[in-house]
Structure 1
Amino acid sequence: MEFQAELVSRFMGALGKPCAWIPWTPSLPDAPIGEWVDGPNGACYLRVREDLGVDGTSLAQRERAFLTWALRSSRGQRDDEPMVRLRNCPARHLVDAVAGLACAEPVREAAASVPLSAYPAHLVAIEWSARVGRAPEPRESADMVKRVTEAYVEASAWQFFASMPLAIASVSRSALCHAWLSLGHAEMDVRGISALAAQIASALRSEAMIDARVAISGVIRTPQDAPAGVAMLELARREALQRATGAAVFGDDPVRMALRWLDDTAKAAFLRSVSAISEEETAHWPEGWGEMASAMVHANLNLSEAARSLYMHRNTLLARIEKLREASGLDVRRGTDAFALFAATALLEGQSALE
């Protein structure tokens, strides 16, 4: 959990009041971090992070004022470094940059601050917390992060931040491919990059005793792609936070990412289209339908492989698929149906992740 969220959690805990997190969806006002807005039914919400808020209805006015002061005075809020300020950039501005549309000022400034000496390249962000067992000096932690990371992949440039334990590295596409091949794997693909990021995060914990999160941008092909590059990096970092995982690569789960960018109306319409001919809401479909859809997609519609991944007999999976077909009208043995159900699963998981 990030610094601001941890601050709010500890404050609510000290008061003995529940900390009810809410996803900050486009249906809520685009308020700055630390600002209170009116929610439904008389609720009062505080924006803690770009994608996260908390229900502070139970707090007294002076308690709300304190949280506003604390969040606006926190490290991320008062820091002048562009890559750190990017963390408070609304997701829609990041998506605009990835799409090649006009860039918001924080995205332009972050792109100008990142050293990219070769193309095509990727940006790698490594964020870490206190060392397990004892807290080293910040410089010691930074040196360990650099040393362990470069044991896996050659970085052409490093950028460290005085205000927080964060490092940004520029890695050429060829260096990234070489790192994967040198570990004895086949040719590079998006899953290979994801696995490499996970290995780096694991090595930082086992070798440097540091809890680290690794995010990797999509490929940056030209200098004009730099704003898209930093936006992809930040979206990957937020994806890692959302999934509570140690590593994320922009594009390693495009369905989940794209669905998260939809507004509430589009999400509701999509779910309605998936269940268009079903008499039952998705909540009443056979238990485990989402896991079946995900397994079939990841198994490239191979029924036997999907059954193995779910630790069940092939005939058992067939019977459950038939029950799902009767309930939903969709058959995960067909590519388009499997993808629709897989997307619906990702969307529903994203809606409930912070509840």
Structure 2
Amino acid sequence: MDMEFQAELVMRFFGAVAKPCEWVPWTRALPNAPIGDWVEGPEGRCSLRVQDGLGVDVTPLTLAERAFLRWALSAAAAPEEFEPLAALGTCSTEDLLRAVVGRDGGNLIRKAATSLAVPVCPAHLVAIEWSTGVGGEVEHRESADMVKNVMEAYVEVDAWLVSRQLPLAVASISRTSLRRAWLSLGHEEMDVRGLSALSGQVASALRSEAMIDARVAVSGVIRTPQEVTAGVAMLELARREAARRNGDAAVFGDDPVRMALLWLDEPARDALLRSVAAFSEVSAEGWPEGWGEIAEAMVRSNLNISEAARSLYMHRNTLLARIEKLRDASGLDVRRGADALALFAAGALLQGQSAPE
């Protein structure tokens, strides 16, 4: 039972019987009684244990009232808001990142990982969240069933967990099943772009086949059972990235540079931008318009100017002229790999800072 709920229950009970509620620290001077049991303490005062370190003075209560309170503490269910999966949204980015790299990210992330079944490794966790109307529990259950049906039409799911409170379902899917699903659709060997495309197809199918506006997020690979906690953290970060992009799908690691830049703290961001513009006479805000898009196009095209020009819908000579202007302004040349990556990172960082939270 949630500890705050225990205390609230006791206070409400004392209020209902119109008697004073006096808390008692449960120290070593008192016996190690189970939660809900009462014992006789110093000076004949009778104390009932509410939590590990907290009790309440039940001397004013009758034996029948004490018995009822004891039953209530042992029989009451935990409050709904304690569901770990639904509460993941309250985790800080710092805690999630600590969990991703194998450090302790906090009790809530561990509890969420415990609530999920990952029968086969290597595997991915896939979260599907959708919009619901006002139909309550029945509509929630029907929507969850439709989500499952559409998802299972694409890929074999090893285990499901559906949130009781949120329109959210999490599936555990083996890497082999995902690859098989991608190949069955007539594509080549699956990579991160293939996984992103498959996620987008599931979201599109939910809209067209089940009339559900859904968003799909996919964790990175969970290689061993010991990495499930990291998988949960990766899944939550992917969910947040999908919401930030306002897109229908996001895969953890599908754009690692951009995502990692968003996780930098403010001094690290400022230092990176200052480093990129270290030899420029003007700040990055004063560089030629569209320089971030040019850098990204060059990175995406593996420094192929003709391909980058096509992706930007401009003539090759126009792009070359703009590259020269950018070089003059920044001191960096996107035709060189290290310079292109540095400019791409700076552009992505500035774009992330201006994006709505």
After superposition, the C-alpha distances for 1:225-247 in whole angstroms (9 at most, x for unaligned) are: 01100000000000001111110
1:184 alignment counterpart: 186
Report if aligned partners of 2:85, 2:163 keep a CA contact under 8 Å in 1: no
Q: Which position in structure 2 is the counterpart of 1:110?
A: 112
TM-score by length of 1: 0.76
Give the residue type in structure 2 aligned to 1:214: V
Counterpart among 201, 218, 221 of residue 219 in structure 1:
221
Q: How does 1:102-181 map to 2 (within 5 A)?
A: 102-130=104-132, 137-181=139-183
In 2, are the aligned partners of 1:119 and 1:221 still within 8 Å (CA)? yes
Change (3 A) 1:196 1:329: same
Distance 2:328 2:335 in 1: 13
Q: Map of 1:209-288 to 2, 5 A cutoff?
A: 209-288=211-290
Residue matched to 1:315: 317
**SS of equivalent residue, structure 1 residue 169:** strand
SS, match of residue 154 in structure 1: coil
**1:136, CA displacement in angstroms?**
7.7
Residue correspondence of structure 1 range 286-305 to structure 2 within 5 A: 286-305=288-307
1:80 pairs with 74, 78, 82, which one? 82
Q: Which amino acid in structure 1 is aligned with residue 149 of structure 2?
A: R
SS in 1 for 2:132: strand
Greater RCO structure (CA 8 Å; 6+ sep): 1
Structure 2 counterpart of 1:120, which letter?
P
| Matched residue, 2:19 | none
Asked if the contact 2:97/2:105 (under 8 Å) is kept, the reply is: no
Question: Does the 8 A contact of 2:130 with 2:167 survive in 1?
Answer: yes
2:80–2:165: 8 Å Cα contact kept in structure 1? no
8 Å Cα contact 1:259-1:347 kept in structure 2: yes
2:131 alignment partner, SS class? strand
Give a deviation string over 1:120-171, Cα, whole Å, max 9, x none: 000000000037xxx9811211111111111111111111112111000000
After superposition, the C-alpha distances for 1:87-112 in whole angstroms (9 at most, x for unaligned) are 10000000001111123111111111
d(CA) in 2 for partners of 1:230, 1:349 = 27
Residue aligning to 2:335: 333
CA contact (8 A) 1:130 1:136 kept: no
Give the root-mean-square deviation of aligned CA atoms: 1.6
How far apart in 2 are the matches of 1:206 and 1:141?
A: 14
Q: CA deviation at 1:295?
A: 0.6
Q: Secondary structure at the match of 2:199?
A: helix
Q: Output one character per residue of 1:166-222: Cα deviation in whole Å (capped at 9) or x when no partner.
A: 000000000011111111111111111011111111111111111101000000011
Instruction: Report if the CA contact (8 A) 1:120-1:222 is conserved.
Output: yes
Q: Which runs of 5+ in 1 are unaligned?
A: 1-76
Check whether the contact 2:192–2:254 (CA below 8 A) recurs between aligned residues.
Answer: yes
Distance 2:125 2:195 in 1: 12
1:270: Cα distance to partner? 0.3
The letter for the 2-side match of 1:106 is: L
- 1:354 deviates by 1.7
Whether the aligned pair in 1 keeps the contact of 2:88 and 2:108 (CA below 8 Å) is yes
Distance 2:80 2:139 in 1: 22
SS in 2 for 1:293: helix
What amino acid is aligned across from residue 114 of structure 2 in structure 1?
Answer: A
Q: Structure 1's 146 and 337: CA in aligned 2 closer, same or farther, altered over 3 A? A: same
2:326 partner letter: L
Deviation at 1:83, TM superposition (A): 1.2
Alpha-carbon distance between aligned partners in 2 of 1:155 and 1:142, rounded to the nearest angstrom: 14
Partner of 2:50: none
Tell me which amino acid in the other structure corresponds to 2:121.
Answer: Y
User: Residue 78 of structure 1: CA displacement?
Assistant: 5.9
CA distance in 2, matches of 1:206, 1:333: 43
Structure 2, unmatched stretches of 5+, are: 1-78
For 1:189 and 1:337, the matched residues in 2 are separated by 26
Aligned residues: 277
Q: 1:237 and 1:250 mapped to 2: Cα distance?
A: 9
Percent identical residues: 67
Which residue number corresponds to residue 326 of structure 2?
324
How far apart, in 2, do the equivalents of 1:175 and 1:232 lie?
A: 20
Alpha-carbon offset, residue 345 of structure 1? 1.2
Off by >6 Å, runs of 4+ in structure 1? none
